[in-house]
Structure 1
């Protein structure tokens, strides 16, 4: 799948499908992305959205959660089952449960309505850069394809993860976040650092995105894997003989909920 970022160059335009049932929002997004030089297709409901993605084979999808026909979660499941594609979900509710479910079905990022078009474009460009970077050859992979930390095994080249021998099915963004944390185990990385390194995005208003993705990682790989440093950020913390007691892990989860 090609993933050009955007531009006024000879490269083919970014293909984007916007699946949104509110005409004014659809038009505003389409106008802004068209102004960026992107090739925009739109769909007003879930079934049409699934068909449009299958026909267009876009580089990225903007997907509303609340849709007629199939809701956004079902649309995301269906399009990811066909051929994985980067998805940015839009939600009208600032509800973390919805966000976590969206990440769980294959979304890479989300935004809460109302949002600025400038931020939407910045998020989409960053998402495309991450996908392109993952597809490019990495010199580090030539020297260390497998990263093994206790019972956690990360296959950089194959972008696969197992823990305790059990495979974990991570989204591209979750994989990149885990790899970033695992590259310096035990080192605390701030939310701002993670936004810059994983999301290629430096706007600190997105730190909640980091929190939600960390929670998704914990749900898939175990609550003891990532340690919260309250008010600072996160560190990969593999269990060992002197690992924290369950009460400490619960304290981390309570800090997340705060």
Structure 2
């Protein structure tokens, strides 16, 4: 999944693709580079970000998703609002990517249930402006899994089909660096929910701390690709990234690694 931020304030590339023509160009480039899905968002969810109006969000994203869908690209809409999702679906969007998992807008589950499109539900505890205050866990893996399980039950109760739902542990959302690493290290626990898992680690600050590149998100692509390979080998369904080419190579390496492991004969040492 390649990312197109039609925003002035996203943490990695805010402002680069705010104009519709630039955003469309970027979406086409991501698809040409090998992205299976292009994810378009008009509202930054970086830590501390303030919300924009629904009208502004639609103004930013609708021309972009319409053009990309007309070009034959599978497009997801990154939004927490049912109103925006409805308009984007009318413009040709194929997938809803809701970082709040339906908690920010109680009408979102209805929207996704009626559309019968894939719905990505991320683990979420609070809006971006205050999420850092909610990064408190006794056992982050167990608690995120339990909270996603409850969201899954709520979405099903709202009429969504089990096969529609994709889950995202929400790296960096009400989580510190250690929480992120614990979740990545124990993806098999999330697989107990029997739904595909999406991983969004791309260029996030916990990767910057490894290399000292805290202030330059674009220099975190090598670390992002390493996470993509490890997550894919651990069974992740999809990785959401800014730079497609190195991450496509990473997941191809992971696929070859897993195939080789599955086909290797047992080795007996004497």
Per the shorter chain, which TM-score range?
A: 0.3 to 0.5
Bigger relative contact order, structure 1 or 2, given CA contacts below 8 A and separation 6+? 2
TM-score by length of 1: 0.33
For normalisation by structure 2, the TM-score amounts to 0.32
